[in-house]
Every structure is written in structure tokens, then in C-alpha cells.
Structure 1
Amino acid sequence: NPLFNSIMISIISLNAVFLAMETDYAIKLVLFSFQLADLIIISIYTTEMLLKFYVDPLNYWRSGYNLFDVIVLLIAYLPYILDKNDTKHYKPWDIITGVQALKILKLISYSRGMRSLITALGQTVKTVIYVLVLLFLLMFIFAILGYGLYGDPETGDSKNWGNLASALFTLFSLVTVDGWTDLQDELDKRGFSASRAFTIVFILLGFFLFFNMSIGVVIMNIQDSTQNYERELKAEKQAALRAKKQAILQRQQEEVNMLMHQQKTSEYKTFSELVEDFKKTLHHSDPMVLEDFCASIPFIDLYLTSLDLQDNTAIPLALLLESLLCQQNENKKEKLVAP
């Protein structure tokens, strides 16, 4: 129900506001009702889950969004199960308190646009993983090459290229094009002038090819998902319009049948008189279902206007032709009479 969805969206948004207010220590000192508000919101979430499960208990567990809601609800109950004063639960308590923000993700299940976006991201995972694997192989090759060229502890840049881990981290900075000029300056200071070709080749392959390829794959899938979402909305609007037309046609047929029945049961009224009474109940704003354009009132009005214009044009032409024929006949007579 749209009302139920609106209520749940409002409650989730209110929960987000409470979570944001809890991060301010001054507000927590003034307000002490956060725990009570959290209990009320969790009880509403539990009622929502039970309602959905009651409506469709079999298909409830087939939806990934419902499973996610159950997991979030279980996490929300953990702070009330663990004892925060126990030293064993000190670190888990902090982690569970931070994970409470996952409750805001319940908003995704109530937004078709967000669900469409999540579906598109899920479809891109496989392709993006392949691109990332190729990127990792490229980084692995260049990391070993960079370690051999610039990783010497005496003459090279051992901080950035001294081992495989630091070389991979340096290449990750080059892939994201973040601070690559500083890394190149370090190599230039140590006399590695040919390192510029190494940096340029890796940035061209890593950033402009593989990194942008993964972004392009995501954008293409999101675009396809958006187009499918728009087509679904258009189909739903057309279905709603057809249903509305059918309802109007059915109502009009029922009214006509009622008039026919009144004519049969009436002794003195004719159908035209019944229609005259029916016309009085009509308004200019009443909808009219028309199957073809030629049955619409604007088309008929335009067609009749065109016929009037044709009549106004055809009559003078006929008179002109008649006068020309008469003049031609007179000319023939004069030629015959002439000697």
C-alpha cells in the first residue's frame, strides 16, 4: 500500500536523524530518550517484518531485500543482548553500535529506483571483477619491474619501490592519478630520468584503459537498467490508462442500458425524451473514451470546416465555368451567323 510505504520511509528517515543526533555528545547530554526512541523504531521494524511474513510466508525468504531486513533487525537487537559493562564485550559493542547505521539501508527496499540501481550494480560485478583481475596482473608485472629498476636500497627509492608491497601501493597511487607527480619527483631526484616513460606507460594502461573501462562497464549497465525501469513505468501508466478507459466505458454502457430499460418499462416516454433528460446530467468535463481519432469532436469540427471551405471554393468555380461555357457557345453562334 502506498500509505504503508510512505509511513515506513518516514520512520527510516527519522531513524537516520536520531543516529546523526547520537553522534553529538552535547545533544546526548540534553536528550536522554534516544534509547526509548530506538526501541520504538525496532518494534516498528519487527511489526513490519511480521506483517510481510504473514502476507506471503513462502515467498518472503526468496527476496534478498527481506533477508537483508532480517539481518539488520538481528543486528539491531544485539546491543540489548550484550552487556556493555563487560570488558569482553567492549570492542564488539563499539562495532555493533557503528553497524546500527545499516538500518538506513532499509530505504532501498521501498524505492524502485534504488532497487533498479542495485540490480544494475549486481549485474556489473562479474564484468568488473574480470577488469580488476587484469588490472591486478598489470600492476603485478609493473611492480616487479619497478622493484628491479628503482628498488635498490642504496641508489634507488626504497621507500616507494623497496619491496613488492610498497611497489604495489605506489602503482595504486599511479592508477588513481593521486600524487603521481611527487612519486616521479622522487625518482628524478635520484637520477632515473628514464622513469618518466615507465610512469607514462603505466598511467596510460592502468588509468586510461583498465580503470576507465571498469567505470564504462558500470555506466552502461546502469543506463540499461534505467531504460528498463522507464519502460516498466511507461507500461504501468499505459495499463492504468487502459483500466481507466475500460471503467469509463463500462459506466457509460451501464447508463445506456439503464436508459433502455427505463424506455421499456415506461409507457409514454420515448428514447429521445429519455436522452434529453440524460443530457441535462452531463458536464463539459466528463471524460469520453474514443477508439479512433476520426471519432473525436475536434476532428469532426475540423472536417466540417474543411467541407464548408470546399463548398465556398467550389461554387464560384462552378459559376466561372458556366460563364466560360456560355461565352464559348455565343462565340460559336456568332461564327455560324457570320457570312
Structure 2
Amino acid sequence: MGAFVDGRRFQRFVIAVIVVNAVALGCETSPALVRSYGGLLDVLDSAALVIFVAELAARLYAHRWEFFRDPWNCFDLVVVGISLLPAAGALSVVRSLRILRVLRLVSMVPSMRRVVTALVRSIPGLLSLTGLLLLMLYVGGVVAINLFRSSGDPRFDGLGSTLLTLFQITTGDGWSDLMRDLMGTQPLAWIFFVVYLLVGTFTMLNLFIAVVCSAMESEVSQQESSDAAVLAEVRALREEVRALRLQPADG
């Protein structure tokens, strides 16, 4: 049973079901398609749910308690479990959560799984950078209020609005228009914006990307090391078998 549920053909079949179910759920957002093919879409949705439940039951039967040691199995179990909740009354919002089944592609496709694993491993570094970014926003907000509050611009009339404005600048959204508006009354306002962009956008945001890329490179190298170890074990076993075959038979 374990070889069957972990086999490539079965995995590909489940992936195909996930894709078909995702398309069907997308079609349900169109009133015209629901009027014409509502019954068929409901059948496809129910059939996909039955297949998912049967697949999880087969994997649980094949792996027993080892099933729960894999975080991806637990993820699949939660996603499918949400779909089994009654979608009526106070839980009617659960019906919209059926689209979460599409996320099972992440656990079924190894390349996607590696990317998500790398993102999870980069969380500590991202949290540190987030704290540094918040500190930079706070310091920049206090400086910006002292510099531009006298201009009468409502975007700098308080700490909250100023922090929101600086966050908008960090994303690169409309900072040049804001800068030129302030330069009408304060010609040297461009100095603050250029320095803040150099530190906040070109440095901080690129550090976020660097942390994620470093985590992905580490994940790929670990995968390659694991594959190399498995290959070395296989080669060693082949050499042992070959040596046993070459030994002369006793008596």
C-alpha cells in the first residue's frame, strides 16, 4: 500500500484532481457558468472531496502513525478537514475556504515544497529584518514630522499618518510626487527622500530578498547532499553484491 500511495502515478493522479477541482471552483465564481453547469460543478467538487478523503485515508493506513511525523501530511489533513465542515448557518464562510484545497499542490509538487521549506527556514532572518525596518520607519517618521509638519501637508500631521506615508515611500509608490509637492515650500526636501530611499528601499528590501535567496540555496545544497548520500549508499550496495557474486562457491 505504501508503494502505491507514494508512487508517481498516484501522485500525478492526485495533482490532476487538484487542478480540475481548482478550475471548477474558479468556474463557480461566474454566475453564467453556475446557471448553465451548476450541477456538474457540484458533482466535480463532491467527487474531488471524496478522492481527497480516500487518498488521505489510504496514506494514513499505509504509514500509520508515521503519517503525522511529516508536516506536509498534517497540512493536507487540515486542508481537507476544513472542506468537510458543514457549509451552512454560522459556518457558511467555510464554503469559500474550499479553494484552500488548491494549496495541496504545494505538498504534492517537490519543487514547490522546497521553495516553501526555504521560506519557512528564512523566517528568523526575516523577523530580524522586519524589526530593523520598523525601527527605521519610526526614526524616519520622527525626523519627517519635525521637517515637514510646518508645510501643512496632512500626510505629515501626526506620527501615524507619517509612518503610513513613509511605508508608501518604501514600496516606491508615488514618492516623487510627494517630494515635489514638498519642494514647493521646502526646496531641500529631496535630501530626506533620497537618503530614505537609499536606506529603506535599495538596502532593506534587497536584504529581504538576500535572506530568502540564501535560505533557498541552503535548501538546494542540503537536497543535493542528501541525494549524493543516497547515491553513495546505492553504489556501495552494488559493490557488495558484485563482490558476493565473484566469491567462489564453497565445496
Please tell me the TM-score bracket, short chain as reference: 0.7 to 0.9
Instruction: Extract unaligned runs of 5+ from structure 2.
Output: 1-6
How far apart are 1:3 and its partner, in Å? 2.0
Partners in 1 of 2:246 and 2:31 — Cα distance?
68
Q: Please point out which of 174, 191, 201 is paired with 2:195.
A: 201
1:33 aligns with 2:40: yes
Q: Is the 8 A contact 2:87 2:95 kept in 1?
A: no
How far apart are 1:28 and its partner, in Å? 1.6
1:82 aligns with 2:87: yes
Partner of 2:205: 211
How far apart are 1:235 and its partner, in Å? 4.2
Q: Indicate the larger mover: 129-138 or 10-19.
A: 10-19
SS of residue matched to 2:14: helix
User: Of the two, which has the highest radius of gyration?
Assistant: 1
SS of residue matched to 1:82: coil
Q: Deviation string for 1:299-321 (max 9, x for gaps)?
A: xxxxxxxxxxxxxxxxxxxxxxx
Partner of 1:226: 220
The amino acid of 1:231's aligned partner reads: S
Distance of aligned partners of 1:27 and 1:82 in 2 relative to their CA distance in 1, 3 Å threshold: closer
1:179 aligns with 2:174: yes
SS of residue matched to 1:23: coil
1:107 aligns with 2:118: no
Q: Is the 8 A contact 1:42 1:73 kept in 2?
A: yes
Distance of aligned partners of 1:43 and 1:245 in 2 relative to their CA distance in 1, 3 Å threshold: farther
Q: Please point out which of 5, 12, 18 is paired with 1:6.
A: 12
The amino acid of 1:4's aligned partner reads: F
Structure with more contact order per residue of length (Cα contacts < 8 Å, sep ≥ 6): 2
Mapping for residues 114-133 of structure 1, pairs under 5 Å: 114-133=112-131
How far apart are 1:232 and its partner, in Å? 3.1
How far apart are 1:250 and its partner, in Å? 8.6
The amino acid of 2:186's aligned partner reads: F
The amino acid of 1:11's aligned partner reads: V
1:61 aligns with 2:59: no
How far apart are 1:56 and its partner, in Å? 2.4
Q: Is the 8 A contact 1:113 1:229 kept in 2?
A: no
Partners in 2 of 1:194 and 1:151 — Cα distance?
15
Partners in 2 of 1:244 and 1:21 — Cα distance?
53
TM-score, with structure 1 as normaliser: 0.65
Partner of 2:4: none
Q: Is the 8 A contact 2:18 2:105 kept in 1?
A: yes
Partners in 1 of 2:19 and 2:237 — Cα distance?
34
Distance of aligned partners of 1:224 and 1:9 in 2 relative to their CA distance in 1, 3 Å threshold: same
The amino acid of 1:5's aligned partner reads: Q
1:168 aligns with 2:143: no
TM-score, with structure 2 as normaliser: 0.86
Q: How many residues align?
A: 244
Task: Provide the aligned C-alpha RMSD in A.
Answer: 2.6
Partners in 1 of 2:178 and 2:73 — Cα distance?
48
How far apart are 1:251 and its partner, in Å? 11
How far apart are 1:227 and its partner, in Å? 2.3
Q: Deviation string for 1:136-164 (max 9, x for gaps)?
A: 01101111221222124xx3211x21222
Partners in 2 of 1:142 and 1:235 — Cα distance?
50
Mapping for residues 324-335 of structure 1, pairs under 5 Å: none
How far apart are 1:204 and its partner, in Å? 1.3
Distance of aligned partners of 1:64 and 1:238 in 2 relative to their CA distance in 1, 3 Å threshold: same
